[in-house]
Amino acid sequence: MKESFIRTRVANGVGEVQLDRPEALNALNPSMIRDMHAALLQWRTDPSVTAVLVTSRSDRAFCAGGDIKPARDAVLSGAFDAVRESFAAEYRLDELVATYPKPYLAVLDGVTLGGGLGISVHGAVRVVTERASFAMPETALGFIPDVGSSHFLPRLRGTAVRCDAVGMYLGVTGARIGAGDALAVGLATHFVPRDRVDDLVDRIRAGDWQAALDEFVSPAPESELEKRFADIETVFGDGTVDEMLDRLAATDAEIDPEWAERTHAALRAASPTSVRATVELLRRGAESTLEECLARELEVAVRISAVPDFVEGVRAVLVDKDRSPRWSPPRVEEVDPATIAALFG
């Protein structure tokens, strides 16, 4: 019998999924995606289940994304049908979360990357602690932000403002943000201090999730990202990747020079092909439904996995872990527009 990396239980009307692959920071492998999808499907029509709770048994992470190394192995062996099915299964799970007819709550205490957002951000309630950190790091892997991020990143909202420039910034640079930042732009919905989150979860398990939130939710931490909204809008609000890089490198720009230098370096370190593809993906996603975004992401994901940067990026970050990818081409300016056009069919 194969080992299961998720645990499920139903009590007091609450169906709970616990992610239990701590040695991999709960990175979603195919069996986890399959088992979680099956549980959610069963509970969707089960009258004894009135809400779903997703938690982690790791003390370091909620979910570090999808386990993308098997996809790399499939690419290297030429098994692109397996690559497609791997991504398709994950996106089906994300869409199920987004369309779930019952309250869906996720408790995010620790690292939440890529696919971890796919199984949380699309749900109704996303509780974070001060230990939560978020990123869509795919451009560093020679890949594209997926799991529906081309829908939610262009639709981030801050206090009375649309934060689509923030979504572009997060998508192309892979910048990591904290709990206060996630709350400021709508990736998270509630804040509970770490020393109270176990009590919160126990109260939710007791069957009254709304009362649990009313009792344990605290004011949101300060957001450093929010302080950068003006700079981010100046750089990432419109234009091409080349223009974004020029704005970051301009010595007379009215933006914080230290932030500009860090962001410029991050953008230059990412896969040039992935950066250009991500800009196009998010621009199209801003005008598309979630269903359309997921369908488009699937096609681009399969096609970009055949581009050399995908195999190289996963090698550098997750296999050899030397963090020294050799991109082809090495600079954004050298990416052939026909390559990007081909990714979008």
The SS3 assignment for 132 reads coil
**Residue 178 is among the residues annotated as catalytic for this protein:** no
- Calculate Rg over the CA atoms of the chain: 20
First vs last C-alpha separation in the chain: 41
3-state secondary structure of 42: helix
- For the chain, what is the total number of helices (H) and then of strands (E)? 16, 12
115 catalytic per annotation: yes
> What residues pair up with 16 in beta bridges, in sequence order?
9, 53
- The helix/strand/coil state of 60 is coil
Residue 138 designated active-site = yes
In whole angstroms, give the CA distance from residue 303 to residue 234. Answer: 32
Active-site residue (options: 94, 146, 164, 181) = 146
* Type of residue at 102: K
- Of 15, 65, 66, 123, catalytic: 66
Query: Which member of 115, 118, 148, 285 is catalytic?
Result: 115
Active-site residue (options: 16, 138, 226, 233): 138
Helix ranges restricted to H, 147-256: 149-152, 164-173, 179-185, 194-205, 209-216, 229-236, 241-249
Q: Is 345 a catalytic residue?
A: no
Strand, coil or helix: what is 106? strand
| Inter-axis angle of helices 229-236 and 241-249, nearest 10 | 130
The set of residues, in sequence order, having a beta carbon less than 8 Å from that of 25 and lying 6+ positions away, is: 58, 60, 61, 63, 64, 110, 111
The Cα–Cα gap between 111 and 46 comes to: 31
CA distance linking residue 307 with residue 304, whole number of Å: 5
Count the residues in the chain.
345
Residues annotated as catalytic (active site), given as ranges: 66, 115, 138, 146
